[in-house]
Amino acid sequence: MKRCATLIVPLALSFSIVAAGSQNKSVGTRTTTSIIDGKVVQKTETVAEPNPLPPADNFLEQEKSKPIPNSGAFNSSIRWQSTDAAAIGQDIAVNANGTNAFIGWNLNNLRTSFHDNNSGTPIWEHTSDPQTYRNYVSLSADANLVANATYHNIYLFDKSSGAITFNFNVPDSRIAGPIAVSRDGHLLACACTSPLSGGTHRVYAFNPPSTTPIWTFDFSDAQSSGVYGIDISIDRSTVAVNGKFYGWILNATDGTVRTQMEIANTESRIALSADASVLAIAELSGFVKAYAYNTAQSRYDLLWLYRIPPGVSTNWASSVEVSADGLTIMAGSLVFLSAGYDGSVYMFDTFGEGVPLWVMNNLGDEVGMVGLSDDGSLGAAATWGDINNPAKPTILIFERNSNSPVYSVSSPGSMFSLAMSADGKSVVAGGKHVHARTFGSGGDAYYIGVDMDGGAIAGTVTLGGVPPNHSGTTVQVLGTNKRASTLPNGQYVVANISPGTYSVRISHLGYVGTTLSSVVVAGTDTTRNVNATLQQTGAAPTNLVASHSLSSRIQLNWTNPTLFDDRAFDRIRAVDDIKEASVPTISARNSERRGEQSLLLRSTSPQGISDLLPPDSIKIYRAIRTGGPYYHKRTLAGTQSSYVDSSAMPLKSYYYRVTAIYGNGESEYSNEAYGTVDSSFLQFAFTTPHKTTTPTIDGTLSPGEWADAIQVDVSDVFGYGGGVRLPRSSTFMYFKYDSVAKKLYIAGEDFLNNDGLAESEGFGLYFDDNHNRQFEPIGTDSLLREGNYWAYYFSVGSNVRFREIYTGGGVNAIVDVVTDAQVAFSSATGHVTGEVSIPISFFNKNHLQVFAPNRTVGAGLFMIGRNAGAAVFHGWWPQTMISVFTPNGFGDVTIPIRLLAPPKAPANIAVTRQGNRLRITWTDPTQGINNDPLTVPITLELWRNGSPWRTFPSGAQAWTDSNIVAQGWYEYKIRGSINVTSSPNTTFFGPFSPTVGTFAVSDPQLTELIYDDGQPDPPPWIVSNTYDGNMFGTRFTPQQYPAKVCRVKAFTNVSNSPIQIYIYSDSSGIPGHPIAGPWSGTTYQTAGVDSFLVTIPGTEPPTITSGDFHVVLAYLPTSPTAPGIYADVTQPLLGRSMFFTNTLNWTLMPGGVDLMVRAFITGQPSAVGDEKGLPKEFALSQNYPNPFNPATNVSYQLAARSQVSLKVFDVLGREVATLVNEEKEPGTYSAVWDARNAASGVYFYRLDAGNFTSVRKLLLLK
């Protein structure tokens, strides 16, 4: 059995319960030199920084997964290990220099422990509230701020004694969640989760030691879907907070929003660089995303996306970190295999276009967390480990330039959390003592000292000429990956070098590089005075320009520098062909090499003598933002003055520089040139034309057959579909529709699939029919189904199948063959072609639906081939789509078709008592469910207590039910239908109205049986993630007999998923057999916050004559995890609740937890009125529910015709609402107070009817 998680936590945590550049222009301007229509055009403009969609490079060619040896000297070790028999070391923090660690222990033996770096024995521990769901921890740089978020409290502790120095009690029952403290200790921020699914979460920010928030920030669970992380930039300028699907970048001073962004499903925090100029996100959709802050535009621009290579399904990007300097990004993944799991670690240069520096695969399972040192030179990863190979490491430490770990630990279980100190010399990790995918408890924590042994090389590099400073020279120890860059004073240190003799290469653009040999490193000593002075080298190329209008490529052109050849001058002078006075001086030659103009040089060049030579070679550099950093792209012959970059991608801006390579060094950069490729072939929206030719669905695109269709290039040019970038014009789709046959016709040509037809290749067509940018929730009316069509080739007969998809990406396990669709394929042209027709209507749940007024559907499409059975994505549209399960990235397809549709649900349905009768009223629908006006007559069908009861023509809008029994419960709902004689099924029903219900004549006297403390303790509970007959049960003992069970109430999270309710007999304390039910959860009414209330319909509720009975909540196989049921976990507990699976049978809830399920019983006979069934006396009933939020029902009865006033007052006697103010006939009535605009608190309601006055109290809790 599991607890639903509203905060991020791995699901399998225990055996019993787990919670669910140099020539830059000024900012804001850009000078561009371009070739347009063969002309050189230069302009300076004010522009927005481009927001490109970056490459997902060919993984087979570019992924760096081969072992790259590390070359440093390391002597790392486990400093200490701590093991707990019951708790899991799930949250970890370490201070900047690694002297202290803070651990949050969860699940059992809930506590936090504070450690030094010498012993696993804590300096002190703090026991957590037993209701704690998860301990979140954080430390400042000096560990003077020791922060813990636990249940309803945010604590700071004295680091020496563990005494509480700060305690903020989180109001409104919110749960203290992810917490962060700034490195300097002047800011604390905690993201607190609403106890109500769908509620409002809140970030509290403090300036310790004050416990008064300096600001708060609220965000909706409907947008965020939980709280998954918070981070504070080192410079204390920025706070990032995120949920599963949305994130906010906040100003740390006042909590105002700087940026908000959609996220395609994450379970980790947004990672920030020290100044928040770089951020990174890991998404379960399979992408690592890197953003850089655009100061001119005050926004974050997407630098690149990297897709975790897809396998048998979409693999996850599970974790991510950014180094403080913003130059390095590290990520982890979860890989889904056909049998089992795997994981990988990726290291990126932030500005390296999203191609990993290296990859380490085969880690066995999810990489749950990664960490980086401030300078990005060291990284660490915590993994779940390989369940089948315990010897595989679960903690790994890497150098930035090597995927060979410098140290690793194989723990007995799985590691969930990890922290690395700022200097990278300390790593602390924690997790579970057994593998995360097995049942069991206990946990481990490890402190690892990363001792970087070896010696160092130090010196000073002086740049000749008059540079502004001497920084930026690269000093590299050849044969290793050790390098450093000089400071402004020219000094450098290269550390962590193994003893030996080395050559040291010193280089700087624009200067003559040098290699110093025989540099000896001895032991741990520093070899000093390895100095050099570099002189300037030859001139850089000039006049670099880049194209903007070419297909799939960028053309670069430049002017190469030319130099005097000293050898030529020597030969000329030797034969006296030139006077000595005309020979340029050395200084003049050097000035020319620096690109400066020399009149002497120009005026004395011997005419007709070939004394000018080009550079030895040219280097091309490319960047993804203006000013760099630039990365070497290609080296060309020195005679070349043009280059075609065919790796450039659409929708992306590139910034180029070139250098000249001479025998003595590399020149400075040329000017920067900005280029793009033609992106006009990409379509993200189109209007489908009406057909003039009806295609024959035979798989062959005959001449002229699709000339009337719109052609769309769907080539997977970014590689977002299959992880491999493909050329444009390699896959096409064609679209048209027929308004008479009501068909959407689609054809496809896959020029890359040229090896014949294979089983299960073809089209994937995902549609968001109503174009609301999401799939519909589970439980939506069956006519409003959205999802995907698979139109695949099968040798035994191709078909089209439909699968329903729900909000969040869940799917219906039942896949339907669409019998009135067609599909066929052919390979007769040497490549695969296909044709498909999809029916469009509102009369079949598997048909495509098109809604007014825009008549536009969202579409995500692919076309696949197969390679040894695995899908190979050749077509992917729109090409920027991240996932076919997130329609907010779909393209827009307009189909201008007008359809007939069943009516919308009738509105304003209500039921009121009229003596011994019930009056049902409603408003007829005037539109079909497609939003078009109804053009045919409709019939209304009224249901009572779950069965059809009466039909009415349109216009009736009311009916009186006299066939009732006093105090019987009657529920009503209504729907409309139309008749379509042209269809095989002639009658088509629209959706039902909401259900309304009431007791007839008068309310019975109900007793509420309660075994909880009235406070739902989050998170809610579920039985299991998979269906195994899942049920919950609660045992009830009536106070008297006979007891009629009239109502059942349960506190749940917000869910549209149905659940079935039964009343069971008792058999030795566990449920015996069902007495009554089931009543479907689709009939329950919202009554109070996060609860459902089911009143048992009819006149004969189940009657208990002796002993106990059980309320049983049975999950459906299609929704085994929804809804979640809240519980009371606070002592004292009565142990009356249990759960059931086919495997375990009935089992008591762990620790005697009481589910918040209640029963309402009555022992009184049916109420008797006068001969007309009217009340004999005036009465005002207690409101229900009470306490309530946001609405409550007030019932009253009148014995005579009266002027009725029913009002609500606050505790000061001020009138706040008038519910009734009119004359009424004798009878029983009810009124609803909607208090959503009122404050929490006690109120009074008063009934005045003639001479009768009655006052009662009610309680509004928000």
- ∠ at Cα 870 (755, 699), nearest 5°? 45
Contact 1117, 1027 (CB under 8 A): yes
Whether the bond between 1020 and the residue before it is cis, its omega within 30 degrees of 0, is no
Q: How many helices (H) and strands (E) does the chain have?
A: 5, 100
**Same domain for 472 and 448:** no
Say how many residues make up the chain. 1262
Rounded Cα distance between 433 and 519, Å, is 48
Residue 414, domain member (yes or no): yes
Q: Are residues 427 and 461 in the same domain?
A: no
Q: Are residue 785 and residue 888 in the same domain, yes or no?
A: yes
Taking CA atoms, 880 is separated from 650, 735, 762, in Å, by: 10, 20, 20
CA nearest to 303, candidates 56, 54, 63, 57: 54
Tokens of 762: 């073809």
- The percent helix, strand, coil of the chain (3-state, each to 5) is 5, 45, 50
Say if residues 48 and 473 touch (Cβ distance below 8 Å).
Answer: no
Query: 733, 752, 728, 758: which is closest to 830 by C-alpha?
Result: 752
pLDDT confidence bin for 257, thresholds 50/70/90: very high
pLDDT of residue 1039: 85
- Distance (Å, rounded) from C-alpha 203 to C-alpha 847? 45
| Inside any domain, residue 1140 | yes
Termini Cα distance of the chain: 30
Dihedral pair phi/psi, residue 685, rounded to 5°: -155, 145
Residue 56 has pLDDT above 70, yes or no: no
Question: In 3D, which of 203, 255, 245, 201 has the Cα closest to residue 224?
Answer: 245
DSSP output for 385-408: -BTTBTTS-SEEEEETT-SS-SEE
410 plus 339 within the same structural domain: yes
Work out how many domains the chain is built from and give that number.
Answer: 7
- Long-range contacts of 1142-1150, Cβ-Cβ distance < 8 Å, separation of 24 or more: 1142/1028, 1142/1029, 1143/1028, 1146/1033, 1146/1070, 1146/1071, 1147/1, 1149/1, 1150/1, 1150/16, 1150/17
Please report which confidence band the pLDDT of residue 534 belongs to, taking 50, 70 and 90 as the band edges: very high
**What CATH number did the domain enclosing 486 receive?**
2.60.40.4130
Compute CA 171 distance to the chain's CA centroid, rounded to the nearest angstrom.
28
Cα angle for residues 199, 201, 207 (degrees, 5° grid): 160
Cβ 892 vs Cβ 771: under 8 Å: yes
Q: Is the peptide bond prior to 878 cis by the omega test (within 30 degrees of 0)? A: yes
pLDDT at 18 (0 to 100): 25
Average pLDDT over residues 922-928: 96
At residue 785, does pLDDT exceed 90?
no
Task: Find the CATH number of the domain harbouring 211.
Answer: 2.130.10.10
* Distance in angstroms (rounded) separating the CA atoms of residues 461 and 532: 5
- Note the pLDDT of residue 350: 96
CB-based contact 631:647 (threshold 8 Å): no
Residue carrying the six token digits 């005045």? 1248
For residues 1063 and 947, membership in a common domain is answered with no
What is the domain extent for residue 100?
A: 79-452
Q: Is 958 contained in some domain?
A: yes
In-domain check, residue 353: yes
CA geometry: angle at 83 spanning 77 and 86, to 5°? Answer: 155
Are 974 and 888 members of one domain?
no
Residue 923 is predicted with a pLDDT of: 96
Task: Decide if pLDDT at 688 tops 60.
Answer: yes
Q: Quick one: 406 and 550 in the same domain?
A: no
Residue 27 lies in a domain: no
- For 923, the token pair is 């408003």
Q: Are residues 217 and 293 in the same domain?
A: yes
Nearest by Cα to 319 from 405, 429, 234: 429
Q: What is the 3-state secondary structure (H, E, C) of 31-76?
A: EEEEEECCEEEEEEEECCCCCCCCCCCCHHHHCCCCCCCCCEEECC
Average pLDDT over residues 1144-1172: 76
Question: Is there a single domain that holds both residue 464 and residue 572?
Answer: no
User: Is residue 563 in a domain?
Assistant: yes
- Specify the pLDDT at position 1185: 78
Q: Using the 3D structure, point to which of 452, 486, 519 is the last residue of a domain.
A: 452
Predicted TM-score of the model (pTM)? 0.75
- CATH code, domain carrying 700: 2.60.40
The rounded distance, in Å, linking the Cα atoms of 1128 and 1217 is: 34
d(CA 887, CA 963): 49
* Spatial CB neighbours of 587, under 8 Å, sequence gap ≥ 6: none
Under 8 Å between Cβ of 713 and 683: yes
Clarify whether residues 336 and 430 are in a common domain.
Answer: yes
Query: Which of the two residues, 1025 and 1173, has the higher pLDDT score?
Result: 1025
Which phi and psi angles does 254 have, rounded to 5°?
-135, 0
Separation CA 105–CA 1096 (nearest Å): 45
Confidence of residue 73 (pLDDT cuts 50, 70, 90): low
The pLDDT tens digits of the residues spanning 540-575 come to 999 999 999 898 899 999 999 875 444 444 544 455
Look at the block and give the residue holding tokens 């080009």: 614
pLDDT band at 50 (very low <50, low <70, confident <90, very high): very low
- Residue 879 and residue 955 share a domain: no
Give the separation between CA 567 and CA 68, rounded to whole angstroms: 44
* Whether residue 22 has pLDDT greater than 80: no
- Provide the token pair at 944: 């009572």
pLDDT at position 1012: 87
**Residue-wise pLDDT tens digits, 560-619:** 987 544 444 454 445 554 444 444 443 343 333 333 333 223 233 333 333 346 799 999
980 has pLDDT over 70: yes
Whole-number pLDDT of residue 1183: 82
Residue 1172 lies in a domain: no
Q: What does the CA dihedral 1029, 1032, 1033, 1034 come to, rounded to 10 degrees?
A: 180
pLDDT at residue 609, as a whole number: 32
* Rounded Cα gap, residues 1114 and 1033, in angstroms: 9
Residue 1074 has pLDDT above 80, yes or no: yes
Q: How far apart are CA 188 and CA 177, in angstroms?
A: 13
Domain assignment present for 1000: no
Q: Is the peptide bond before 54 cis (omega within 30 degrees of 0)?
A: no
CA atoms of 296 and 46, how far apart (whole Å): 10
When pLDDT is cut at 50, 70 and 90, the band that residue 1203 belongs to is very high
Distance CA 615, CA 601 (A): 18
- Name all contacts of 632-641 with Cβ < 8 Å and 24+ positions apart: 635/661, 638/560, 638/614, 639/560, 639/614, 640/560, 641/541, 641/557, 641/558, 641/559, 641/560
Same domain, 644 and 728: no
State which of 509, 534, 559 marks the end of a domain: 534
**Ranked by mean pLDDT, which of 107-111, 393-397, 607-611 comes out on top?**
393-397
**Mean pLDDT across the stretch 250-260?**
96
**Mean pLDDT of all residues in the chain?**
86
Which secondary structure element, helix H or strand E, spans residue 570, and what is its range? helix 566-574
Q: Which residue has the tokens 């909401």?
A: 994
Instruction: Work out the pLDDT band at 908, boundaries 50, 70, 90.
Output: very high
Domain limit, last residue, from 395, 419, 452: 452
Segment holding 1037, helix H or strand E: none
* Top-confidence residue, 675 or 1084: 675
Cβ burial of 296 (10 Å; 0-12, 13-18, 19+) is middle
Confidence label for 98 from pLDDT (cuts 50, 70 and 90): very high
Residues in contact with 957: Cβ distance below 8 Å, sequence separation at least 6, in sequence order: 921, 922, 923, 924
Locate 11 and state its tokens. Answer: 């699901």
- How does pLDDT run across 197-223, given as a tens digit for each residue? 667 899 999 999 999 999 999 998 888
In 3D space, the residue among 56, 52, 53, 54 whose CA is nearest the CA of residue 873 turns out to be: 56
